[in-house]
Amino acid sequence: MASDGFLRKVGKAIHGLSVKPFKLGAEAGSLAIAAARAGAGPARPPVVQPGGETKAAAADRAAAGKPKPTIDLAEALREAAAISGKPVGRMLREIVALRRGPGRLTAQEYFYYRLYDDRHTDAERQAFRGHAAQTRIYERTSPRRWWLLAHDKLLFHAVAQGLGYPTPEILAVYPPARAFGRVPSPRDAAELADLLRGGMRYPCFAKPVRGMFSHGAHAIMAFDQASDALRFWNGSTMDLATFSSSLDPRTDGGYVFQALQAPHPAIAAVCGPRLATVRLVVALRPSGPMVLRALWKVPAGANIADNFWRPGNILCALDPQTGRVLRAVRGYGLALEEPELHPDSGARLLGFTLPGWHELVALTLDAARSFAPLRFQAWDVAMCPDGPLLVELNVGGDFDLPQLATDRGIMDKEFAAFLAECDRDAVPI
């Protein structure tokens, strides 16, 4: 049980958390409870689970299957104190300073990025930006009326294809009230089943039109006529009627079916026959578009999609000039690891240079100019045997990917100068 003296220190450390911008004091309350649970006195050794993993790290890993994971603050405070030697009270003061600062980081994000580690100076911690700060930055850089152009996959593909840029081929769409040119557009589950039974080209990839984080994505390899079932990338099967009924065409704008793309052979040698897309964070400046951060999302294990939130997937920081892997991470918080080899193939990640890098960057920067009202762009680009393909465009993209991969905040001098240019030009929202 925490002592009265320790609780007074906690109260002093988090004083002010109940006032704006902290909503209704909820964060202050949860942080105070977590600090009290963490206990008083010297830091206790981290609780180690079978297999040698600490309790907090195990909890972080268990939550990794969620796009926005939840970290047990009490366990994180206790184990971070034991690992770093930093007192809980000092961590609380750092958390409060970051939450009240321009980055608006939460306590969760403090541990997500391992900002308790003194490898970061106070100035370096202040360069990180939390999820709460993202939307305002998007608004400073890109008019809201243009956001749908990026986030609606059908609209993005129509524009990109119309401009002559290479994108994955669309085979069918399944929002009943919407079409995509002359591609098949079944109106209900029965018509979708008929299309998948006799009119679809396999393999194909199905995903929600306005979905995020690859939720609801399916890699379909073939249709088995004898069992009237679909076979998926991971070897599982599902009868056609069940699959067709499981897709809700009213959710996230319905579904789009695309030709399943193969990766470049050099990439397949690292992570197998599945796409591992490059995330290019691009700023459109008066001198032209430029790459702010370059990342590589690498699938592993049974994952067909490369989204980092899927357990086991790897995120790499790249040299924007060469496409060479500088750092690889898996997991987050106390469970963060820095693997040097891919767990499936054993191929070396550090030092690997992506094939066709200059062609990929040139294509992306050229396309970025065509979407110029969006001055802050995050592109997912796949390098395939015949060259790069533009897979998706996002407004800015989540900051957790570039910040976690590079272990530094996004608000460096270059990004600050870019925001100042956007403010000067008075981007309408």
pLDDT in tens, 270-280: 999 999 999 99
pLDDT range class, residue 1, cuts 50, 70, 90 = very low
* DSSP 8-state secondary structure symbol assigned to residue 181: T
pLDDT range class, residue 26, cuts 50, 70, 90 = low
Q: Average of pLDDT values for 263-291?
A: 96
pLDDT range class, residue 355, cuts 50, 70, 90 = very high
Residue 250 token pair = 């009213």
Q: What is the pLDDT of residue 333?
A: 92
Q: Average of pLDDT values for 169-177?
A: 89
State the CB neighbour count (10 A cutoff) for residue 43.
19
Q: Using the predicted structure, report yes or no on whether residue 428 has a pLDDT greater than 90.
A: no
Q: Which domains can be identified in the chain, with CATH numbers?
A: 4-128 (no CATH), 138-165+263-424 (3.30.470.20), 170-259 (no CATH)
Q: Select, from the ranges 65-79, 205-219, 372-386, the one with the highest average predicted confidence (pLDDT).
A: 372-386
Q: Using the predicted structure, report yes or no on whether residue 310 has a pLDDT greater than 60.
A: yes
C-alpha 122: how far from chain center: 25
Element spanning 258, H or E: strand 255-259
pLDDT in tens, 209-238: 876 545 678 999 999 999 999 999 889 999
Residue of 148, 168, 359, 354 lying closest to 268 (CA atoms): 354
Q: What is the pLDDT of residue 264?
A: 98
Beta bridge partners of 377: 282, 395
Q: How far is it, in rounded angstroms, from Cα 281 to Cα 403?
A: 12
pLDDT in tens, 311-350: 999 999 999 999 999 999 999 999 999 999 999 999 999 9
- Of 7-11, 78-82, 400-404, which range is least confident? 7-11
pLDDT in tens, 102-142: 999 999 999 999 999 999 999 999 999 999 999 999 999 99
Q: Average of pLDDT values for 201-210?
A: 91
Q: Percent of the chain scored above 90 by pLDDT?
A: 72
One-letter amino acid of 315? L
Q: Average of pLDDT values for 290-300?
A: 97
Q: Average of pLDDT values for 191-198?
A: 95
Q: How far is it, in rounded angstroms, from Cα 224 to Cα 237?
A: 9
Q: How far is it, in rounded angstroms, from Cα 308 to Cα 313?
A: 5
pLDDT in tens, 32-69: 666 666 654 444 444 444 444 455 444 444 444 455 67
CA separation, residue 414 to residues 127, 377, 379, 393 (Å): 12, 15, 19, 22
Helix axes 88-100, 73-84, angle to 10 degrees: 120
- Kindly give the pairing relationship between strand 229-232 and strand 218-224: antiparallel
